Amino acid sequence: MENLSSSPLTSGLNPFGGLCFPRGTALISNALLNKGTGYSERELDALGLRGLLPPRIFTMEEQVERALLNFRRKTDPLEKYIFLTTLQNRNETLFYRVVMDHADEMIPIIYTPTVGQACLEYGAIFRSPRGLFITIREKGRIAEILRHWPVADVRMIVVTDGERILGLGDLGALGMGIPIGKLSLYSACAGLHPSYCLPITLDVGTDNASLHKDPLYIGLNQKRVRGAEYDEFIEEFVTAVQAAYPKALLQWEDFGNSNAFRLLQNYRSRICSFNDDIQGTAAVALAGIMAAMRLNGGRLEEQKLLFLGAGEAGTGIADLYVAAAVAGGLSEREARARCWFVDSQGLVVRGRPGKLAHHKEPYAHDRAPLATLAEAVEAVRPTALIGVSGQPRTFTPEIIARMAQFNPRPIIFALSNPTSKAECTAEEAYRHSSGRAIFASGSPFPAVEFDGRTFVPGQGNNVYIFPGVGLGALFCESAQVTNGMFLTAARTLAGLVTAEDLAMGRVYPALTRIREVSLKIATAVAHEAYDAGLARVPRPADFEAAVRACMFEPVYRDYV
């Protein structure tokens, strides 16, 4: 079985196309191979570096200290983001060492919540290209463009068309910050070697009128292409990826509702792929609910879920909840009856004026329409209130207090990203429930002091799920990524929440344990793939040891 921790770039091949290992400025310009001031005396002479670098040689530990010093001097999160992306573009090994050793400090910068602001300002802060921009103008030439990427053995692609970036809407080509950030987390959190990773933005235009007027916008200045032309473009893209990178996993990211469900359904059996907004979000939310059962003493099958927002995230969570509840003994009909939705038109019910989107139909129940979330809370009396709407402060003090009247320990998950879009803050959830809420959020919130207790809110971040799922699927070269794998991932994550976590009110493990979490999930997902007959390489004797051996560690290699 191949070792995914190794890099095809350190096998003696020059990524720029030659047969020799790069030397001199070509070497120190290659972020995947560059060591900065960390080359040995022998390497300085053998690789033509003498005089191109300062004379003092620094250990990686000393380089990390210098990077942290400069990072912490910056007070603005966006400036910290720019610093880290510049470091990544200069020295990837050092970048990943810094991120891994200080995960709880770095992940909120390279991903949520700061990545949202970075995407909004991506044109203004653009420094150097990373990944591939494939536009609708290149329709008919996608295979050619993929060949421009310098690495032939790509294993993980995160692709977006920028239509629904976090809770920020249509950002077009500015959405490239999301695939870059997700792939950084694959390497930092699950140990996939960065050389295997390729971020891609499919630029089909944008319907965001403000971007059409922005002189710094980096994408196509046109309205979005839709319909048959869009579908042909996606089909060409998937076909080209399969031909160029036959071992690659494709992660669909931040596509609009009108395309996300359809693309997942069309391609999930044709190419190893998944949609993190639908399936990853579902798994991390379900894991939080499972962990919450240890705090409120309930059973998963007894919960009644009310969602604010009926898009990819909400219906994805409901679908996975249904699968878990069915496994727990309910019929599918009974499980669906425990999931209710409020969208922009009010409570999702049968017979409501207007046509329901296809993905909402299974959760349209027989009852009178209601216009507001407050009315729905009163009528449904849910045990869990889950926000995936992108509408800030919609979990009002009155709604939170009412949830606490219905439930001794109400589950309140404000999962919308970034922080500015959260349905409520951690402080609001605890205060208005008299400290009884089981709270989680999509973006991080600080600890809350209330009534003599310190609550440490959990972050229901997909980073707990997708890196491990991806690594597990790649480890065994699974033909597909199934819903069963995400249910397995959710159960595994919930099982990793400790008694100490729960005592603080946290229903997720600390981010400092993210490599352990990813390892356990990858191992469980690989087991699932083998049991389902989807794995395409021999089954190892010791799963966890074999997966661990595949995980990239950011340490400098000796080149001579």
pTM for the whole thing?
A: 0.95
Q: Identify the three-state secondary structure at position 455.
A: strand
Residue 18 in this model has a pLDDT that exceeds 60: no
Tell me the three state secondary structure of residue 199. strand
Beta strands in 131-181 (DSSP E): 132-135, 156-160
For residue 352, what pLDDT is reported? 87
In a domain, 537, yes or no: no
Is 42 found in the same domain as 84? no
Q: Tell whether the model's pLDDT for residue 19 goes beyond 50.
A: no
The residues assigned a catalytic role are 111, 182
Helix axes 257-267, 312-327, angle to 10 degrees: 50
Q: What pLDDT, on the 0 to 100 scale, is given for residue 306?
A: 98
3, part of any domain: no
CB atoms within 10 A of CB 454: 10
Among 462, 453, 414, CA closest to 431: 453
- Looking at the fold, whether 85 and 214 belong to one and the same domain comes out as yes
The whole-number pLDDT of residue 355 equals 83
Q: What is the band of 2 on the pLDDT scale with cuts at 50, 70, 90? A: low
The predicted-structure confidence for 407-449, as pLDDT tens digits, reads as follows: 999 999 999 999 999 999 999 999 999 999 999 999 999 999 9
If asked whether residues 353 and 426 sit together in one domain, one would say yes
Structural domain includes residue 370: yes
Asked whether residue 527 is domain-assigned, the answer is no
Per-residue pLDDT band at 20 (split at 50, 70, 90): low
Res. 7 pLDDT band, cuts 50 70 90:
low
Whether residues 111 and 169 fall in one domain: yes
Domain of residue 341, residue span: 279-462
Beta carbons of 458 and 412 less than 8 angstroms apart: no
Give CA–CA dist 259/2, Å, rounded. Answer: 35
Instruction: Tell me: do 54 and 66 sit in the same domain.
Output: no
**CATH number of the domain that 14 lies in?**
1.20.1370.30
User: Distance (Å, rounded) from C-alpha 383 to C-alpha 386?
Assistant: 10
| 346-347 and 339-343 beta bridge pairing | antiparallel
Q: Are residues 212 and 86 part of one domain?
A: yes
Which of 5-9, 122-126, 287-291, 386-390 comes out lowest in average pLDDT? 5-9
Cβ proximity of 280 and 469 under 8 Å: yes
Do 349 and 308 lie in one domain? The reply is yes
Neighbours of 352 (CB within 10 A): 17
Do 261 and 388 fall into the same domain? no
DSSP assigned state of 389: S
pLDDT above 50 for 17: no
Q: How many domains does the chain have?
A: 3
If asked whether residues 108 and 160 sit together in one domain, one would say: yes
CATH of the domain at 448: 3.40.50.720
